[in-house]
Structure 1
Amino acid sequence: MTRYYLSLGSNEEPERHLASALAELRAYFGDVVASAAWRFPAVGFDGPAFVNLAAGIDTELDPEALNDWLHALEDRHGRRRDVPRYSDRTLDVDIVLCGERVLSGRGNLKIPRDELKYAFVLKPLAQIAPEAVHPVAGVRLADLWREHADYARDYDIVTLST
């Protein structure tokens, strides 16, 4: 079994889509470690705020197979792929970390994800995996978050109905 860390986000009915996505992750993978959900400003475009959280799962799937499963999960939630990359989302789920693994694959599969530099990915991951080490930077997530420009900023916590 391999531990994967995922980033989940939505700015279209986020409470519904994120709660449902977590339920599907639990139904398929069993125990899921999930962070709190926070409201973050949209990045890369003007739009409604996103709600983001992180999840840790254990699976025997390889990264490509897991990425395919996650794309199908997004599709079940109405994810549109015919719109600009930076746009509103019903559900966005990305593999952010997979142990010490570093890879670039087909499509959007890149581990670690470049988005780890943003608060909306780093803050939730640092909550559930503070001791995890960024495989390129060689720094613990807790330390990366403490050094982040937005570390002292308050973000609203969002309650998801599960």
Structure 2
Amino acid sequence: MTRYFVGIGSNEKAVQNCAAMIRAVCSTFQSVCVSSVVRTPACGVDAPNYLNAVVSFEASLSLSELHRWCKALEKQLGRTRNRKGVCEADLDILEPGQVSEAFFQPLILQVQAFLEGTVSTVNLETVALQLDEQMRVGDAPCYFSQN
């Protein structure tokens, strides 16, 4: 089993799409840790703000299999790549310590700390998402485990 970190983001129907991405990860993989969900500005383009988070889980998939799964989910959620700065769904496999997006770095650290039983905060605006009647994410890191 390999521990993966996946960054998620959306700025088109962001609440709906981020919730759908997190639900899909939680229903596909076991023992999922979800960072805070944060609002970040679109960089370099005139576009709506993004919602971003990091999910982490262990899986027996290869890196290429996980990449295909992520791209299939993006497509399922309506991802088109011809609209500059607008993104329905973005899932990127992240390598801790080698992440270029500044907003993902504290989210990865937050997830790592949470998994180790310690606390790490983020200094970005957090957004709460209600995934269903029992699952809420966003305010702080959380953990979901399938029985």
User: Shorter-chain-normalised TM-score: which range?
Assistant: 0.7 to 0.9
Secondary structure, aligned partner of 2:87 = coil
1:89 is matched with which residue? 87
Match of 1:159 among 128, 132, 136: 128
Could you say if the C-alpha distance between residues 160 and 131 of structure 1 is closer, same or farther in structure 2, counting changes exceeding 3 Å? Answer: closer
1:22 is matched with which residue? 22
1:39 is matched with which residue? 39
Deviations 1:23-63 (A, max 9, x none): 11111112210001010111232211101100101111111
**Aligned residue type for 2:76:** R
Q: CA deviation at 1:81?
A: 2.5
1:156, 1:54 → 2: CA distance?
15
Where does structure 1 differ by over 3 angstroms across 4 or more consecutive aligned residues? none
**Aligned residue type for 1:6:** V
2:79 is matched with which residue? 79
Secondary structure, aligned partner of 2:25 = helix
- Match runs of 1:1-20 below 5 Å: 1-20=1-20
Aligned length: 127
**Aligned residue type for 2:80:** R
Secondary structure, aligned partner of 1:4 = strand
1:73, 1:2 → 2: CA distance?
20
Gaps of 5+ in 1: 101-111, 133-141, 143-150
Q: Comparing both chains, which one has the higher relative contact order based on Cα–Cα distances under 8 Å and sequence gaps of 6 or more? A: 2
1:135 is matched with which residue? none
**Root mean square deviation of aligned Cα:** 2.4
Contact 1:16 1:161 in 2 (8 A): no
Could you say if the C-alpha distance between residues 131 and 159 of structure 1 is closer, same or farther in structure 2, counting changes exceeding 3 Å? Answer: closer
